[in-house]
Amino acid sequence: MALRVPGFTPLVQYRTDYDPCVSADPRRDCVHRAIQEWPAGADTPGFLLTLVELDDQGQLFDRGQLDAVLAHIGHVSARQDFLAVVFVHGWKHNAQEGDDNLDHFRQVLARLAATEQALSAAQGVAARKVIGLFLGWRGLSVSAPLAVELTFWDRKNTAQKVGHGGVTEVLSRLEVIRRARTAAASSSSATASAARWSTRPSGRSSRRASSRRARPVPAPTPRGSAISWCW
């Protein structure tokens, strides 16, 4: 007879819908969505939250989920620089809606988006899009208050598999998107700079005229796209 553990948490994928969800109340509207867009409001800048889930072997639950998330991030990065934060939760947590690690991550993204907007206004450059990537795994395998404390070593072994498994692929593919955005932004900046300087007058008479004109002021340098991650 198999021993039943009270409050056992099944190994399931929580984010099964890969269509973007735009809502300021994701706990109500985006329960199963892997792509969540927090709209910009009068007091709060918008940000993007995405979720990718891994199983107990550290592998992707569904490669289609990762493909959809990265495709959306790639679409966003084609329009503007971005600041991506990758977060891997720990023991006693998962990617289910209502998990307090997920709620706190949303709050961090909101504050980061506000900071990014303030810095951009002060420096006179376009704000970067704040993107959060929440990596979920079954850190909570038992929900019973006392029994959950006995799962530490088992979940630690799983966490090590997660760290050496699908997480590596996620970070590698995200870095490819960042490099592509950086290359595109550099090319666009070089083209714009060349266009500004090509309008300068040439010839002896023009030199005298141009000497009396103010030289073009270089445009502020964008901070560029970046990725940060925490475990």
- The model's pLDDT over 32-68, given as tens digits with 9 standing for 90+, comes to 999 999 998 877 789 999 999 999 999 999 999 999 9
Helix (H/G/I), strand (E/B), else coil: 85:
strand
Ordered by start, the domain boundaries in the chain are 21-186+225-230
Contact 114, 41 (CB under 8 A): no
Give me the pLDDT at residue 190, please: 54
**Alpha-carbon distance 93 to 89, whole Å?**
7
Quote the percentage of the chain above a pLDDT of 70.
82
- Asked which of 38-52, 71-85, 190-204 is least confident by mean pLDDT, the reply is 190-204
Give me the pLDDT at residue 150, please: 92
Global pTM? 0.84
- Asked which of 86-90, 122-126, 171-175, 195-199 is least confident by mean pLDDT, the reply is 195-199
Q: Which long-range contacts (CB under 8 A, 24 or more apart) does 204-210 make?
A: none
- For every residue of 26-75, DSSP letters joined together read HHHH-TTBSEEEE---SSS--EEEEEEEB-TTSSBS-HHHHHHHHHHHHH
Task: Tell me the pLDDT tens digit for each residue of 116-170.
Answer: 999 999 999 999 999 999 999 999 999 888 899 999 999 999 999 998 889 999 9
Quote the percentage of the chain above a pLDDT of 90.
67
Give me the pLDDT at residue 108, please: 96
Please report which confidence band the pLDDT of residue 2 belongs to, taking 50, 70 and 90 as the band edges: very low
The residue length of the chain stands at 231
Q: At which residue do the structure tokens 């595109």 appear?
A: 184
Q: Name the β-bridge partners of 27.
A: none
pLDDT exceeds cutoff 80 at 95: yes
**Alpha-carbon distance 181 to 193, whole Å?**
18
